[in-house]
Structure 1
Amino acid sequence: MIAITGKTNLVGLLGQPVNHSLSPVMHNAAYEEMGLDWCYLAIPCDRENIEKVTTALRTVDCKGLNVTIPHKQEVLKACNKLTETANKIQAVNTLVPEKNNQWIGANTDVEGFLMPLKSHNLINKSVIVIGCGGSARAVVMGLNSLNIKKITIIGRNKNSLNIFITSMKNLLSKNQISIEGIDNKELDISSYIEEADLIINTTPIGMNDQKNVKSNIPLGNEIWNCLSNKTILYDLIYTPRPTSWLKLGQKKNCFVIDGLDMLVGQGALSIKLWSGFNDVPIQIMKSSAKKHLMV
């Protein structure tokens, strides 16, 4: 590891919680390989402090920030400008330094999300997205490029769900994709799960599994009895690896994808934005993250 000196530049991750994050491990491995005198830290930050913290970090010339749950929409207030993608989905996961101590808000989650799906044909398929937060916005925008037939969003807060569906319909207005929202408290969703070709968990449910197994599985354990083995399960969570939900899917002989490829992909894209270098060592980032998960 490169020694930290008075010349070392700061980059990092804002979120709550962040103690589980693999980002410091894989980013610092990449910087060492690239010869960048940077140090990446996970910085816990509560919602009410997001603007204060981002302002302070920009003032001390922080070279870049990633943003994770639950701040991807709240951090919009801290941005002077937004990239086209971030503006469309109104969610930011990467802050890029701008002149006059300001930040540009970007979103690399969309491209990162798509990376592990490139080998799958999802044309005219039906997709379920669990959750309607900032990560779900990136997921829907990514799905928009895959020529799928139908997206069903499952949420637990009816008001948030309705706002999400309205904004996503505007985003998808030029395409022929059907999108609807379901409040899982009011409707039996078994039939939707049975027909789904791809189901994506964008919620933090299952992160760092707790002792009560049922609480670690999105929508509860019993609903997945109707799951078909033709369905792909994609969990944006990568700790533990696999999650209880993906283990359940494996028992049903489903093809499962965890969030590690997305994490590495969006992280590499963030480094490109901060450094201006196109040659980012993605395999070193992934192998360092995997090694840490095995410890």
Structure 2
Amino acid sequence: MPNITGHTELVGLMAYPIRHSQSPTTHNLAYDKNGDDVIQLAFEVDNDSLEAAVESIRALKMLGSNISMPNKTVVHQYLDEVDDAARLCGAINTVVNTRDENGNVTGYLKGYNTDGMGYWQGIKEEGIDFKGMKLVLIGTGGAATAIAVRGALDGLGSIDIFNIKDKFYPRGEEIVNIINENTDCKAEMHDLADLDLLKEKMHAADIFCDATGVGMHPLEDLSNIPDGSFFKPDLIVTDTVYAPRETVMMKQARDAGVKQVYNGLSMMLFQALIAIELYTGKSTPVDYMKEQLGI
């Protein structure tokens, strides 16, 4: 870990609750490896204290802050600028205190969403060029939204989103409209209960992603996929869950002969590394981070 000096610069992590987060471990490993006199600290900040906390980024000349729930969808109102993907997602997980030509922070705050960037960077790291590909995506939450929007902006051919018909289903319809109106990607929304359609779409797809919490505690014994017949061997299968490292869905895919099956660890890692590069301008050795974090 770096020594704290009078020159040490601060990156925040603002959410509530947040003391359980592994983000400071990841960030501080990277800053240390890159030789940066920077440290990340976690702060328990909710919606009531968020405006003051964001103002502290300016007042304390912080490099910025990661943002998690419940602040992702409301922090935009306190910023000076929001990038396209974050604006379309309606969620921000990274606030950057932009720098001038001399490298000094300016107090002009820009918001990003690195969740989608992290997912697709993980796909690219596996040597996969996803432009023009067909994605089947389960979920309409924050991770699903970020994955869909970023993928559409970066050249996916089509996205079929499935979700149960709960109170979050209309959010999926909103995502579909946003993608169709703002990108060249074709998106459609479907009821997850229509299993025949789900199987049909998965058999026609190039990439499948479950971006729900199914497979994670307390749902670790469950899968959104009924059985292995929904998979084909050349389908790229991904799960945003990283604990456990193999979900029931992932095991179903492997048992069905799928060769490329990935959990959410790479998304977690790359969304952090992208944020770190936004703060410092430096890229971090990926192999080193994977070794240190046991990925």
TM-score band by shorter chain is 0.7 to 0.9
Unaligned regions of 5+ residues in structure 2, if any?
A: 99-104
Which of 252, 255, 277 is equivalent to 2:256? Answer: 252
- Matched to 1:159, the amino acid is P
Moved more, 181-190 or 30-39: 181-190
Report matched runs for 1:47-196 at 5 Å. Answer: 47=47, 49-69=49-69, 71-97=71-97, 101=107, 103-118=109-124, 119-122=127-130, 124-144=132-152, 147-156=155-164, 157-172=168-183, 175=184, 177-185=185-193, 189-196=198-205
Aligned-residue identity in percent? 27
- CA displacement at 1:124 relative to structure 2: 4.7
Distance 2:7 2:131 in 1: 50
TM-score (norm 1): 0.79
Aligned to 1:202: 211
The answer on whether the counterparts of 1:24 and 1:41 sit within 8 Å (CA) in structure 2 is yes
The answer on whether the counterparts of 1:190 and 1:223 sit within 8 Å (CA) in structure 2 is no
- CA displacement at 1:180 relative to structure 2: 0.4
Cα pair distance change 1:38/1:121, threshold 3 Å: closer
Distance 1:14 1:206 in 2: 27
- CA displacement at 1:69 relative to structure 2: 4.9
Distance 2:49 2:203 in 1: 42
The answer on whether the counterparts of 2:57 and 2:107 sit within 8 Å (CA) in structure 1 is no
SS at match of 1:222: coil
TM-score (norm 2): 0.79
The answer on whether the counterparts of 1:116 and 1:257 sit within 8 Å (CA) in structure 2 is no
Distance 1:286 1:42 in 2: 22
SS at match of 1:169: helix
SS at match of 2:12: strand
CA RMSD in angstroms comes to 3.1
- CA displacement at 1:146 relative to structure 2: 6.0
Aligned to 2:101: none
Cα pair distance change 1:149/1:85, threshold 3 Å: closer
Distance 1:153 1:101 in 2: 38
Cα pair distance change 1:211/1:178, threshold 3 Å: closer
- Matched to 1:203, the amino acid is T
Distance 1:47 1:245 in 2: 35
The answer on whether the counterparts of 2:14 and 2:67 sit within 8 Å (CA) in structure 1 is yes
The answer on whether the counterparts of 1:26 and 1:286 sit within 8 Å (CA) in structure 2 is no
Distance 2:22 2:244 in 1: 11
Unaligned regions of 5+ residues in structure 1, if any?
A: none
Cα pair distance change 1:17/1:232, threshold 3 Å: farther
Aligned to 1:2: 2
